[in-house]
Amino acid sequence: MGSVTERSVGRWRLTVDGPPDPVTGRRRQRTRTVAATNRSEALRALAKFASEVEEPRAEGGSATVKDTCEAWLAHAAPDLSPNTAREFRGSLERYVYPSPLAARPISKVKTRDLDVFYRRLLETGGRDGRPLSPATVRKVHTVLSLVFGQAVRWEQLTRNPAAAASPPKAHGGELIPPTPEQVRLLIETASGAEDGTLWGTYLLVAATTGRRRGELCGLRWCEVDLGRAVASIFRVVKLGEGNELIVAPFPKSPRGEGTISLDEGTVEALRGLRTWQQERAEFFATRLVPDAYVFSQEIDGSRPLHPQVVTHRFGRLRRSVGLGNVRLHDLRHFTATQLLAAGFGVTAVAGRLGNSPGVLLGRYAHFVHSQDQDQAAHMGGLMGQGER
């Protein structure tokens, strides 16, 4: 149970072993000095002290912020996608662990400490002491909120200090997708490369379908029906630990799964890609595997394009044509905004992109609002408002 030591006449030192720290697993001894007239009275005080220590208490013990972050990462990893886990760890390793906050006992962290930390990141948290963007600081806040929230559930804390913190507001700039002329320039330039049949077709399919990078990388020929001009999205290529490829059976969202239609030009480009792949395989005395990927650099189509290779290749392409501000993901924005501007409904556009109507509406609200103004003018015209 513990020990009792008489320190002086009438003063006794009580020592008991506390419960294991929920993160480090180490036990800490708890001590208390009490007044007692004899040893029997001191032992009764010891029994009461031991019962208090054994009761569950919201206390971080000796665990530091870094200890708890690492424990949370290990605990949460099975429920996170590899990309998300990698992003969370990157935020912690780049911005939290090098700071004094990392070595502080988690039980001592207050909301004000986090606000001071966020302010320092904003001012000097970037590379070479440069300012860090508000959006990046908010990502750090998101991770710390999850860590401290778990610490509350682990009874290390009684409250989450991040819940009341004030991270900077991330003011997103106006979305400016590429124009049709710019997209055509990118596709034409990619098509003119040595392996342009592959890369030009990839960009064309990305622009006409609006699908995500990983979903296109995971598309197989057995899921494309060129006769019916449809393609079925059933899987997505993700990056695991060490950037190895993981072909997951479901896309990012359940709404992403399904069949989408292909326009005539895209179908013809895919026919050309299929023929090019078959002729290339025959030249090397082999053939495409039965479940060959549509976009593959392998002779037999057995492995999908690596998503990072796609991004790096696109980066070189955009710089070569003077469009350094256009990202690969902007092709998805291009599809969404062009369809919305053409008058297609939010639900229909969301279905084509594999998104929820709510998310689509929030992301492209200003485009939908411009349509609403046109609708208002149209209805006013019907009622004779324009004649006054």
List, for residues 314-346, the tens digit of each pLDDT value: 999 999 999 989 999 999 999 999 998 888 888
Element (H, E) at 228: none
160 SS3 class: coil
Phi, psi at 14, each rounded to 5°: -100, 135
Those residues of the chain that have pLDDT short of 50 are 22-23, 55-60, 387-388
Spell out the domains of the chain, with CATH numbers in brackets. 3-54 (no CATH), 65-164 (1.10.150.130), 180-327 (1.10.443.10)
Question: What amino acid is encoded at 120 in this protein?
Answer: R
Distances (CA, A) of 332 to 3, 61, 206, 305, 314: 69, 48, 7, 18, 14
Q: Token pair of 300, please?
A: 């037999």
Q: Token pair of 176, please?
A: 């400016």
Cβ proximity of 219 and 295 under 8 Å: yes
Query: Rounded to two decimals, what is the model's pTM?
Result: 0.65
297 SS3 class: coil
Round the average pLDDT of the chain to a whole number and report it.
Answer: 86
Q: Quote the CA–CA distance of 125 and 136 in Å, as a whole number.
A: 10
Q: Quote the CA–CA distance of 80 and 71 in Å, as a whole number.
A: 14
How high is the pLDDT of residue 60? Answer: 47
335 SS3 class: helix
Q: Quote the CA–CA distance of 65 and 62 in Å, as a whole number.
A: 10
Closest CA to 216 of 268, 175, 270: 270
- Residue 153: CB atoms within 10 A of its CB come to 10
Q: How far apart are the first and last CA of the chain?
A: 92
Cβ proximity of 221 and 288 under 8 Å: yes
Closest CA to 185 of 326, 307, 312, 352: 326
**Per-residue pLDDT tens digits for 151-176:** 999 988 989 999 999 998 866 556 78
Closest CA to 163 of 175, 181, 149: 149
Buried b (16+ CB within 10 A) or exposed e, 17-43: ebbebbbeeeeeebebebebeeeeebb
Site of tokens 């003119």: 192
